[in-house]
Each structure stands twice: as structure tokens, then as C-alpha cells.
């Protein structure tokens, strides 16, 4: 396994793909978890994380440019809630050959308003009864599912099915499982989150990222630049970093040294 470091990101192949979009190739490193994607500085339309060892789709920083995620042949069994807030313009996600099991596992994707292409081939969920009807119903903007076009008649059939008692029962079951999964995920994160909290903190929002960039410009030493650049690249604010920002006000600055409040 290889850790996804800023160095690996910067050394990986970058090119203009056939869709004339900038793509970052992170295939085949057996990466176990997503981290440090802030090092991309939001310069890519497509990021290819296929053929790795990911189990969760999470830990993404704010990447408003990102439109396509390629995640073929991982072991993903959970998609984190709230990703639409950090990658709001995602329009295509390819998850062929993963381990998503239930329709409720796809609820986290429903917040994406521009997501029009989804592929879930070779996932257990794609063999579930009424899978295609559920996707056509739940994702009204979806154009391609598993590389097959969703037609108007597919949407109509889905609407008709979910007006029936079996359809309504299925929606209730999916909602119930989704809530249970979310509760279990929160419990697991609380149980396993001490190490993350010790080093950890939270993920940076766009305002945080902008303040860090401004602090880098004002930094008075190379050590400060390197320290702040590491935070910017990881996309995660250490706990002490947050504490000092809070002490020094909303702008994260002090009169004597504007960058000091962003140190950790």
C-alpha cells in the first residue's frame, strides 16, 4: 500500500483527457484512504483513483472544479454524507467494481444537483430488485446509469411504481436503513476518532483555505510558509490551529503578525 501524500500527487501523471479536461492519474497505487487532495489546488476536472484499496469515499477537501471521479476497482462500501458541499459540481462518478451493498448506501449521492452519470456495475447493489427504478426516481437529473441512457419512459415507470404500496414500502425501508447506517457510521467515527482528534481537527472550508493562502503571502519566514502550505495541501485544520484562529478573531490574524494565528 502507498500513502496518498502531496509528493505522490505532485509526481503523478497529469494530462488533458479526450474530453479536453485536466485529469490527475492516481491509478493503481493501492492507496488505502483519500487524503491530502488539497495538494491538487483544485486544478483538475477529473481525478482517477481507480485500482486502489479505498473502502470509503470521504475526506475530500473543497474542490469546486472537480466534475468527474473515477473509482473503479476499489473496495468502497460507504459514501460519506455531505460531499456535495465540498465537490458541488460533480457530474460523473464511476464506481464499477466496488462493494456497495444496499440502495440506502447510495443516499449520500442524492445531494448532488449536477450528477448526471453514475456507474455501479459489479456492485451488489446493482442486482437489487427495482434498482433501476429507484435510481431513476431518486436522481431526476440522471442521464446515464451503468452506461445506459435513462429515458422518459423509465422515469414514468419509476414514478408509477413508487406510487404503489410496494414502492412506498421500499422507500420507507431505504430511508430506515439509511438512518441506521448513518447512526452506525457516527458511532464508529466516535469510537475510532480519538486519534483523528489528537492530530486532527476538521476539514477546511473555502473561507479557511482563502485565509491560509493570504497568510502564506504575508508569512515572514520560510518555516511559516512550509507549515501553512502543509495545512493547505492536506485540507485539514489541526485542532490547535482552530483554537488559535478562534482566539484571534474571525480573520485569523493578529496585529503583530498576521500569519501567527494560522500556525500550529
| The 3-state secondary structure of 233-260, one letter per residue | HHCEECHHHHHHHHHCCCCCCCCCCCCH
Q: What is the mean pLDDT of residues 229-254?
A: 56
More confident position, 206 or 165: 165
- Mean pLDDT for 149-175 is 92
pTM: 0.71
Average pLDDT, the chain: 83
Q: Is 198 left (phi over 0), alpha (psi -120 to 50) or beta?
A: alpha
- Give residue 35's Cα distance to chain centre: 10
1-27: pLDDT as tens digits: 799 999 999 999 999 999 899 999 999
> Would the pLDDT of 232 be above 60?
yes
Q: How far apart are CA 23 and CA 17, in angstroms?
A: 6
- 3-state secondary structure (DSSP) of residue 57: strand
* Domains of the chain from N-terminus onward: 6-192 (3.80.10.10), 201-262 (no CATH)
Between residues 219 and 255, the one the model is more confident about: 219
Q: Which of 78-87, 137-146, 253-262 has the lowest mean pLDDT?
A: 253-262
For the chain, how far is it from start to end, CA to CA, in angstroms? 29
Report the pLDDT value the prediction gives residue 215, as an integer from 0 to 100. Answer: 78
* pLDDT > 70: percent of the chain: 75
Higher pLDDT, 201 or 228: 228
pLDDT tens digit sequence for 180-192: 766 665 555 555 5
Average pLDDT over residues 108-133: 95
Of 73-77, 83-87, 210-214, least confident by mean pLDDT is 210-214
Euclidean distance between CA atoms 88 and 42, whole angstroms: 13
Q: Which of 143, 88, 138 is nearest to 113 (CA)?
A: 88
The residue that leads in pLDDT, 165 or 203, is: 165
Does residue 208 register a pLDDT over 90?
A: no
Higher-confidence residue: 233 or 54? 54
Confidence at residue 217, expressed as pLDDT on a 0 to 100 scale: 73
SS3 content of the chain, % helix, strand, coil (to 5): 45, 10, 45
Query: In the prediction, which pLDDT does 86 show?
Result: 96
Amino acid at each position: 500500500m502507498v500513502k496518498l501524500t502531496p509528493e505522490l500527487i505532485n509526481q503523478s501523471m497529469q494530462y488533458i483527457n479526450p474530453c479536453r479536461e485536466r485529469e490527475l492519474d492516481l491509478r493503481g497505487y493501492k492507496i488505502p484512504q483519500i487524503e491530502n487532495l488539497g495538494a491538487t489546488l483544485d486544478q483538475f476536472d477529473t481525478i482517477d483513483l481507480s485500482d486502489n484499496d479505498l473502502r470509503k469515499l470521504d475526506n475530500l477537501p473543497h474542490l469546486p472544479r472537480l466534475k468527474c471521479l473515477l473509482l473503479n476497482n476499489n473496495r468502497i462500501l460507504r459514501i460519506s454524507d455531505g460531499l456535495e458541499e465540498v465537490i458541488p459540481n460533480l457530474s460523473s462518478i464511476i464506481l464499477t467494481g466496488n462493494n456497495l451493498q444496499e440502495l440506502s448506501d447510495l443516499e449520500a449521492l442524492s445531494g448532488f444537483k449536477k450528477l448526471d452519470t453514475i456507474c455501479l456495475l459489479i456492485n451488489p447493489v446493482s442486482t437489487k430488485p427495482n434498482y433501476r427504478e429507484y435510481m431513476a426516481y431518486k436522481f431526476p437529473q440522471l442521464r446515464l446509469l451503468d452506461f445506459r441512457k435513462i429515458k422518459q419512459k423509465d422515469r414514468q415507470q419509476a414514478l408509477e411504481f413508487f406510487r404503489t404500496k410496494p414502492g412506498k414500502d421500499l422507500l420507507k425501508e431505504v430511508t430506515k436503513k439509511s438512518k441506521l447506517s448513518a447512526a452506525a457510521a457516527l458511532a464508529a467515527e466516535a469510537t475510532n476518532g480519538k486519534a483523528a482528534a489528537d492530530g486532527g481537527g476538521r476539514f477546511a472550508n473555502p473561507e479557511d483555505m482563502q485565509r491560509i493562502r493570504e497568510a502564506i503571502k504575508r508569512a515572514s519566514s520560510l518555516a511559516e510558509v512550509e507549515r501553512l502550505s502543509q495545512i493547505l495541501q492536506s485540507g485539514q485544520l489541526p485542532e490547535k490551529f482552530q483554537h488559535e484562529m478562534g482566539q484571534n478573531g474571525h480573520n485569523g490574524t493578529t496585529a503583530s503578525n498576521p500569519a501567527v494565528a494560522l500556525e500550529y
